[in-house]
Structure 1
């Protein structure tokens, strides 16, 4: 999870970010997810339906139940794009649209597992992707634009007693101190559309098993072969790991993991991004188009029609 900013007013008062993120019965066995091993292809719009006899704003209900109001999605601001429309080769593993995040539930505002960004950031990632592909690597994004309602959910979660995902995401941290320790706050640069959480994959990307709610959890600080399934390179911790080992330049990170962190940083800084030093995965566009605005439109393809 990328950094989040304190302050309840919409204009940015501070420029510090913090963390970016069901009791369901487990499935019989984990499956292999094509979603996280290859970029999703754009979906086409459904064909238009014939004129309806239902009142405007309602959908017919084939089972005879009362129809529900049609969902209305506000359009995205002009400078926002879907990453796949700029570079479909970048893998999208959008954690907050799934239960595999530190809250253990899909997060409000993520209607689809889709990366949305400001156009300048998407184009910068495209340039970095071109560099990295020549070295046998590619980018994989975990979180992009984050609606303010998602940040509000993180704030509410931080004060409840739910610790179902503690063993994986904050094994050695006290949940009650996540705000004080800087992992969470009340405003996120992600809500301005010019922050991204991402990693590297070796090409061709390997398959990745789906996360199954209720499966046994392992600490994000464990060796890579013991952590949750992720087809990325080793960065010494998993994504969204609330531990000082996630600090980009932590001296305990050596060998291949150090090289991987440096490779990611070199590629991204060369195209105009800067790293947040407390999270190896979090980068900000240095020249963002909306430096003082926080948005709340949902992550939904309908926002781009």
Structure 2
């Protein structure tokens, strides 16, 4: 009887220990080799990270992470450039064309973001809800997300929006109600035209848009200087 009890106790202890053991974390697959990236483009041209300004010359850039004017308050990019996967840039072309007919245009704050930068953001951000978790990576790392706003073509000035870019306030949410009528109208117009071309707004950031086909693209960690 004592032997049976001892065996039961040991078996239960081993089972409990196994249950409490943390699950093995799956290593994230991030492409950091430029040659590997080139090989992927050769296999599928849609994998190309296209420079947005070169593809759409009249688009405006305000690459905040190449300056100190950002939530990190430090320069994160060595070059003030913006890239996105080929289908994303094709969508932006169509959006820009449609906006131009109405007297508006796009201003890009950010596009493809190397994975290393996402890691730095997560370390230093005061509110983790507004930055991607490196354990999963960001759609920016896939070249499938853009941060942007609307401008008036004649003046070059940004249209009124609920918050400035990269605000950590509740009003940054895409459906936040307590904003001015003008800000809501501009925000909802931007969300609608982006959605029309498969670019979907992030729930808590009115300026952030994800390409609907993002799952087909790898996480990347290739700096702008190599592109």
Structure 1, unaligned runs of 5 or more = 1-6, 13-72, 159-174, 207-230
CA shift, 1:8, in A, is: 7.3
Q: Any conservation in 2 of the 1:120–1:288 contact (CA below 8 Å)?
A: no
Alpha-carbon distance in structure 1 between the residues aligned to 2:192 and 2:60: 19
Report the equivalent of 2:105.
Answer: 138
- Count of aligned pairs between the two proteins: 189
Q: 1:81 maps to which residue?
A: 50
Counterparts of 2:26 and 2:160 in 1: how far apart (Å)?
37
Greater strand percent: which structure?
Answer: 2
* 1:125 CA drift (Å): 0.4
Superposition deviation, residue 290 in structure 1: 3.6
Match of residue 57 from structure 1: none
8 Å CA contact 2:104–2:150 kept in 1: the answer is: yes
Q: Residues 235 and 9 (structure 1 numbering): CA distance in 2 closer, same or farther, change over 3 Å? A: farther
Bigger fraction of residues in helix: 2
Corresponding residue number in structure 1 for 2:166: 240
| 1:111 to 2:78 alignment | yes
- Alpha-carbon distance in structure 2 between the residues aligned to 1:143 and 1:267: 19
**1:277 has 2:227 as partner:** no
In structure 2, the residue matched to 1:188 is 138
Which fold has the larger relative contact order, with Cα–Cα distance below 8 Å and residues 6 or more apart in sequence? 1
User: Retained in 1: the 8 A contact 2:139–2:214?
Assistant: no
Q: Describe the SS at the equivalent of 2:148.
A: strand
SS in 2 for 1:280: strand
Match of 1:92 in 2: 61
2:147 to 175, 197, 204: 197
How far the C-alpha of 1:74 sits from its partner, in A, is 3.6
Partner Cα distance (1:9, 1:141) in 2: 32
CA–CA separation in structure 1 for the residues paired with 2:169 and 2:189: 21
CA distance in 2, matches of 1:104, 1:243: 17
Aligned mates of 2:27, 2:64 — CA distance in 1: 27
Q: Partner of 2:8 in structure 1?
A: none
With the length of structure 2 as denominator, give the TM-score of the two structures.
0.77
Question: Which structure has the larger Rg?
Answer: 2
Q: Please tell me whether the aligned partners of residues 118 and 289 of structure 1 are also in contact (alpha carbons under 8 angstroms).
A: no
5+ residue gaps in structure 2? 1-24, 42-47
Which residue matches 1:155?
122
Distance in 2 (CA, whole Å) between partners of 1:297 and 1:290 is 18
For the residue of structure 2 that corresponds to 1:128, the secondary structure is: helix
* Root-mean-square deviation (Å): 2.0
Shift of 1:233: 0.9
Which digits, 9 at most, give the CA deviation of each residue in 1:33-73, with x for residues without a partner? xxxxxxxxxxxxxxxxxxxxxxxxxxxxxxxxxxxxxxxx9
- Deviation of residue 288 (structure 1)? 3.0
Write out per-residue CA displacement over residues 78-112 of structure 1, whole angstroms, 9 at most, x where no aligned residue: 321101221111111111111111111111xx221
User: C-alpha deviations, 1:96-154, integer Å up to 9, x for none?
Assistant: 111111111111xx221011110100010010001111111000010100001111111
Match of 1:122 in 2: 89
